[in-house]
Structure 1
Amino acid sequence: MPPVTAKSERIELRATPSMKRLLQRAAETSNKNVTDFLLEAGLTAAEETLAGRRLFQLDDREWNAFQEVLDRPVRPKPRLARLLAGKSVLE
């Protein structure tokens, strides 16, 4: 079991009275307080959103096309080489 870390950061939000009542009812139904309910739901949504940016699924046809692109020989890209040889805007 991972060590327990104290919650020290605050997240503030505004809601309409009807939104607040809905969240309170949902939290109560889940045997949680509103804070725990919102944190759990928010973290789940955040993980799903970020997973969509790290993980993608392809059917067999798409996978084969993807593999073909990866297996292509490298072609010189002079414009990219010039861009990378120059000074970065961050420097």
Structure 2
Amino acid sequence: MHTTIRKATRDKQINIRATEEERAVIDYAASLLNKNRTDFIIEQAVSEAQNIILDQRVFALDDARYQAFIEQLEGPVQNEEGRQRLLDVKPEWK
């Protein structure tokens, strides 16, 4: 049995400008992966965007606030319904 996976239809347009050299590098890299330019650019841009979004994890706290933060992390869940709502949220890119 052979299954085919369908990609979502791309119906939004993104216009970008590039130099001839940039376009040539992109086209060459895409060809190395057997992809067309659009698929290559979209996949790379989405992957990098997801990494940037997921990297937003550094924040600074003074000692007292850090200790309070750790206590909340390690303490029992006080709002089970709210916790479940957070766990159910799907990233916007999925």
Task: Give TM-score, length-normalised by structure 1.
Answer: 0.58
Partners of 2:7 and 2:49 in 1: how far apart?
Answer: 21
Q: Which has the higher helix share?
A: 1
* Deviation for aligned residue 1:12: 0.5
Matched, 1:69 2:68: yes
* Structure 1 stretches lacking a partner, 5+ long: 57-64, 72-91
Q: Which amino acid in structure 2 is aligned with residue 25 of structure 1?
A: Y
* Alignment coverage as a number of residue pairs: 62
- Structure 2 residue ranges without an equivalent (≥5): 59-64, 72-94
Higher gyration radius (CA): 1
User: Any runs of at least 4 consecutive aligned residues in structure 1 with deviations exceeding 4 A, and if so which?
Assistant: none
Q: Shift of the alpha carbon at 1:4?
A: 4.2
Q: What is the CA–CA distance in structure 1 between the aligned matches of 2:55 and 2:37, rounded to whole Å?
A: 27
Alignment of 1:1-91 (within 5 A): 4-53=7-56, 55-56=57-58, 66=66, 68-70=67-69, 71=71
More relative contact order, 1 or 2 (CA 8 Å, 6+ apart): 2
- Alpha-carbon shift at residue 10 of structure 1 (Å): 0.5
1:43-88 per-residue CA deviation (whole Å, 9 max, x = no partner) reads: 00010010012x45xxxxxxxx83x1334xxxxxxxxxxxxxxxxx
State the identity as a percent.
Answer: 23
Question: What SS class does the counterpart of residue 55 from structure 2 fall into?
Answer: helix
Q: TM-score, normalised by structure 2?
A: 0.56
